[in-house]
Amino acid sequence: MDTVEINNSTPEAHTTEEYCENNDNSTPEAHTTEEYCENNDPTDEQSTEDIGLIISLAPPRVAVNQAMHYMDNFNSGRFQKFDFGPKENMKLYGQKIPPLYNLSAVTAPIAFFYGQQDSFFVDGDYYESAELLPNVVLIHRISYDRYTHSDFILARNSTELAYEPTYKLFKDYDDGIVPPRVKVPDNYI
């Protein structure tokens, strides 16, 4: 399986500034790193020392196809199967564009936790997803207005804002308290 190093350019970097400043933009993994550096300025709930430590401890490799698949979905705005290109897609899928995943087949309960400043979760996307998924039981907006995507891992207040509500949801399920499916408002767009 093809892999690329995702943190080998600066394993000794101890701060986000060093990591972002030393990023070599000529490598395939730079696109992911560049996105992180551009869209995730540390909030006041993050410690740059913590960020450097977490990056240095992150798994050093990621499958190229996995990263490409994620970025294809992100860029196209479609949650679709892997894009092998029109010719190979025709052989595998019988169409030039990869088919969408059948989200109506997902039966597990789904909960969305999002931050207002999360660059990967546009306001309202959760309602669109809730229409497609048959069992969305919670849409939880983090109560801190500057909460970003990376804050779920890096913010010092994540225990209170994200982990405890997540734990409560699991605990409720264990205790037989099952929340009803989320009702999507008619005018969410």
Hey, where are the domains in the chain?
A: 3-59, 103-174
Selected residue with higher pLDDT from 14 and 184: 184
Question: Measured between alpha carbons, how far is 10 from 154 in angstroms, rounded to an integer?
Answer: 19
Confidence grade of residue 42 (pLDDT, cut at 50, 70, 90): low
Rounded to two decimals, the pTM is: 0.68
111 in Cβ contact with 101 (< 8 Å): no
Selected residue with higher pLDDT from 6 and 78: 78
Contacting residues for 59 by C-beta, under 8 A, at least 6 apart: 6
Confidence grade of residue 24 (pLDDT, cut at 50, 70, 90): low
Residue indicated by tokens 């199967």: 81
pLDDT at position 29, please?
45
Residue-wise pLDDT tens digits, 132-162: 999 999 999 999 999 988 889 888 899 999 9
18 in Cβ contact with 10 (< 8 Å): yes
Positive or negative, the CA dihedral 150, 154, 159, 164 is positive
Rounded mean pLDDT, 71-75: 86
149-160 burial string, b = 16+ CB within 10 Å, else e? bbbbebbebbee
6 in Cβ contact with 61 (< 8 Å): yes
Question: Measured between alpha carbons, how far is 121 from 138 in angstroms, rounded to an integer?
Answer: 15
